[in-house]
């Protein structure tokens, strides 16, 4: 399952699959990796025991079928804790968290005139393909099975559900409502349960306010 999830994500590269802690240690003797998805239940040495032996700088995301280990996992400076069965959406949330930490320039900065290919997408709208930078997009609004892309030059309609879209977007796009995903870079003010982007006021629902608060907390002075 994890291998399948990893292969779907462009910024992840699968370097090795190990079936016990000794395989992991042997591999790390000669190789370095940015991130380890580490199962807590392994033969001979558990994932927790292995984590205690790894350098403190090693980034880890724990996986397990038992929620009781979650708090203990964070004692090992784990980036996240994935409870099985791991959905792709939940996996992407953890992967994006790792990308923000390991590649801050690529995720946090979107220069206006950047030629970086990672900042450019093509939006299929009808029979046309519209080339666009993420920095041009203000927000997405859901209409049943369609999503309206609201950008600086106008709007475009795409045939995609919000759940699918949310899993594909960079971390600075934040879901604030069943019907809205916003580009946090374009938010001017958040007040009274609303996100204000220029002349537009979008509702922040109770189900997503904590998610928005987590993102804002990282930028708060």
High-pLDDT (> 70) share of the chain, %: 86
**Interatomic CA distance for residues 180 and 195, integer angstroms:** 10
Structural domain boundaries, residue 50: 2-102
Question: Model confidence over 35-72: pLDDT tens digits?
Answer: 999 998 888 888 889 988 988 888 999 998 876 654 45
| Contact indicator for 110, 129 with CB cutoff of 8 Å | no
Same domain flag for 120 and 81: no
Q: Does 82 share its domain with 131?
A: no
**In terms of domains, do 31 and 128 share one?**
no
- The pLDDT tens digits of the residues spanning 116-155 come to 445 788 887 667 788 888 889 999 999 877 899 999 888 8
The C-alpha atoms of residue 221 and residue 213 are separated, in whole angstroms, by 14
Q: Are residue 11 and residue 67 in the same domain, yes or no?
A: yes
Residue 145: HSE in the Cβ half-sphere, 13 Å Cα cutoff: 1
**Domain termination residue (choose one: 85, 102, 119):** 102
Full DSSP string of 15-36: ----SSHHHHHHHHHH---SEE
Q: Is pTM, for the whole model, over 0.85?
A: no
Number of domains in the chain: 2
CATH number at residue 80: 3.40.50.2300
Q: Which among 89, 104, 109, 118 has a CA at the least distance from the CA of 10?
A: 118
User: What does R_g of the chain's alpha carbons equal in angstroms?
Assistant: 20
Task: Please indicate, yes or no, whether residues 21 and 38 belong to a single structural domain of this protein.
Answer: yes
Kindly report, residue by residue over 85-102, the tens digit of the pLDDT: 999 989 998 888 888 877
**How many other C-beta atoms lie within 10 A of the C-beta of residue 2?**
16
């Amino acid at each position: 399952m994890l291998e399948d999830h990893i292969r779907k994500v462009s910024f992840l590269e699968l370097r090795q699959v190990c079936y016990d802690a000794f395989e992991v240690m042997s591999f790390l003797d000669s190789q370095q990796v940015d991130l380890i998805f580490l199962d807590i239940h392994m033969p001979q040495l558990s994932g927790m025991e292995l984590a205690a032996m790894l350098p403190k700088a090693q980034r880890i995301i724990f996986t397990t079928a038992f929620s009781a280990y979650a708090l203990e996992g964070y004692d090992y400076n784990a980036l996240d804790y994935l409870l099985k069965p791991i959905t792709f959406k939940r996996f992407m949330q953890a992967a994006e968290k790792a990308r923000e930490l390991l590649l801050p320039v690529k995720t946090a900065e979107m220069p206006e005139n950047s030629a970086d290919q990672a900042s450019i997408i093509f939006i299929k709208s009808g029979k046309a393909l519209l080339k666009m930078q993420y920095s041009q997009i203000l927000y997405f609004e859901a209409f049943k099975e369609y999503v309206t892309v609201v950008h600086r030059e106008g709007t475009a309609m795409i045939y995609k559900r919000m759940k699918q879209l949310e899993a594909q977007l960079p971390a600075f796009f934040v879901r604030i409502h069943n019907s809205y995903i916003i580009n946090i870079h374009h938010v001017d003010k958040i007040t009274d349960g609303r996100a204000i982007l220029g002349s537009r006021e979008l509702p922040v629902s109770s189900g997503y306010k904590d998610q928005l608060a987590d993102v804002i907390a990282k930028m708060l002075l």
